Amino acid sequence: MPQLATRMGRAKPSAIMVIAEKAKRLKAEGRDIVSFSIGVPNFLPGEHVYAAAREALAKDSGQYGSNRGSDALVDAFLGHIEALGLTGYKRENVSTGVGAKQILYNLAEALLDEGDEIAFPAPYWTSYLDIAEIVGAKINILPCPPEQHYKLTPAQLDEALARKPRVFLFNNPSNPTGMVYTRDEIVALADVIAKYPDTWIITDDIYNTMVFDGVGYHNFVHVRPELKDRVIFVDSLSKTYGMPGWRVGFIAAPESVAKAVTTLNSNHITSLPEVITAAAVAALSGPQDVPAAKCAEFAVKRDRVYNALVSIPGVVCPRPQGAFYAFPDISVAFGKKHDGVAITSDVDFCAALLETKGVACVPGSAFGEPRALRISYSCPDEALDKGMARIVEFFAELT
């Protein structure tokens, strides 16, 4: 039998998908399951997006498109980021891809030779580790425990960048923690970044319009525009526009990086489909009331989840201020039993919770923090309240 490439020994299926699949299977068996596992928005884009897609379908040429993304799409993205305060970018600074995930994979290929170092904070989004492992990078994980609100400190960043990694990968607002860095925190980190010119900075900020409590969204280039020559801003329509399956992602980056990603596109995907492109243009340049309304709704859902979590003795949950995730430290349960079953880890906890209460959450170890679990609260209020009540009940039953 011929062999697979060695790199496949480093490639793992997503831990999130494994839980989501199990929840789906139990549901199909007739169990009453509440799934807090997968990070998908529970809303659809506005009708104008579908209208644009239908119109494009009616006249779709069916031809290949541009490797970078059509001019209309690139221009719509430039308009969108200008509204976020990211100004002065040209078409040459932009590239597109099949979701932010494919863009991140392209960036790993474009920026990292085998053995080059990439640094990123933990908790991290699971694919960061997987992508870095597939391309054979040396990985420096910077632990940010609940005690520091899952946030990277300037001192940690200084120590990491002093090693001159090729890439520092940063995510704000955070999946899985829901943390959002304040402007002052971004200034302090940007001051450190400015000291180390040899490192590319990727900011995966795909939840940038989902920020609560007036904290605002801040990027390193907002506070230090000169960092534009090293900062790669990653964005996506998936979460903020309710379009995960349309698979559209973007970067705004130094020209050389945008060009490299475009070159990889020419070999990987050729182009985004025309119908998808038309829908994406409509989403970015049409009315913005859906993302704004959803952000307000998520802030209220955050309160419901957070209030339930902090009512549980011993559970610690830094208050999420963005995206639609909460990441409680549930380690108070370790060493206890539920229904006679020993809980020794986050994985045991999530397995028992799903088995006995029908609530699916993702173990924190999938994100590099084994004391926690992730709750994705993008679901209807009724399911949310039911799921949270069952989690509270589960804790009360621990012996």
Q: List residues near ligand PMP by CB under 6 A.
A: 39, 99-101, 125, 171, 175, 204, 206, 236, 238, 244, 249
The least distance separating ligand PMP from the CB of residue 61, rounded to whole angstroms, comes to 26
Nearer to ligand PMP by Cβ, of 177 and 331: the residue is: 177
The least distance separating ligand PMP from the CB of residue 314, rounded to whole angstroms, comes to 28
Type of residue at 390:
R
Report how far apart, in Å, the C-alpha atoms of 298 and of each of 154, 174, 379, 387 are. Answer: 29, 15, 9, 16
46, 48, 53, 54: CA torsion to nearest 10: 120
Nearer to ligand PMP by Cβ, of 53 and 248: the residue is: 248
The least distance separating ligand PMP from the CB of residue 332, rounded to whole angstroms, comes to 27
Report how far apart, in Å, the C-alpha atoms of 59 and of each of 67, 73, 390 are. Answer: 21, 17, 50
Strand partners, 235: 250
CA dist., res. 234 & res. 218, Å (int):
13
The least distance separating ligand PMP from the CB of residue 210, rounded to whole angstroms, comes to 11
E-strand ranges in 74-220 read: 94-97, 117-122, 138-143, 167-171, 200-204
Nearer to ligand PMP by Cβ, of 160 and 251: the residue is: 251
Which residue in this structure is represented by tokens 């880890």?
345
E-strand ranges in 237-380 read: 249-252, 325-326, 336-338, 341-343, 359-360, 362-363, 373-376
Nearer to ligand PMP by Cβ, of 35 and 171: the residue is: 171
Nearer to ligand PMP by Cβ, of 127 and 288: the residue is: 127
CA dist., res. 33 & res. 360, Å (int):
7
Nearer to ligand PMP by Cβ, of 173 and 358: the residue is: 173
Q: Residue 188: which residues within 8 A CB-CB, separation 6 or more?
A: 154
Nearer to ligand PMP by Cβ, of 117 and 204: the residue is: 204
Using alpha carbons, select from 371, 381, 384 the residue that is nearest to residue 345: 371
| Distance from the Cα of residue 89 to its chain's centroid | 23
Nearer to ligand PMP by Cβ, of 204 and 346: the residue is: 204
* Residues 239/39, Cβ–Cβ less than 8 Å: yes
- CB atoms closer than 10 angstroms to residue 263: 15
* Residues 198/161, Cβ–Cβ less than 8 Å: no
Most distant pair of Cα atoms in the chain: their distance: 64
Nearer to ligand PMP by Cβ, of 358 and 368: the residue is: 368
The least distance separating ligand PMP from the CB of residue 353, rounded to whole angstroms, comes to 21
Nearer to ligand PMP by Cβ, of 219 and 236: the residue is: 236
Nearer to ligand PMP by Cβ, of 149 and 163: the residue is: 149
Peptide bond into 173 cis (omega under 30): yes
The least distance separating ligand PMP from the CB of residue 373, rounded to whole angstroms, comes to 16
The CB-nearest residue to ligand PMP is 99
The least distance separating ligand PMP from the CB of residue 273, rounded to whole angstroms, comes to 16
The least distance separating ligand PMP from the CB of residue 38, rounded to whole angstroms, comes to 8
The least distance separating ligand PMP from the CB of residue 206, rounded to whole angstroms, comes to 5
Phi, psi of 169 (to 5 degrees): -115, 125
Type of residue at 106:
N
CA dist., res. 316 & res. 368, Å (int):
17
The least distance separating ligand PMP from the CB of residue 2, rounded to whole angstroms, comes to 31
The least distance separating ligand PMP from the CB of residue 211, rounded to whole angstroms, comes to 14
Tokens of 15: 């831990």
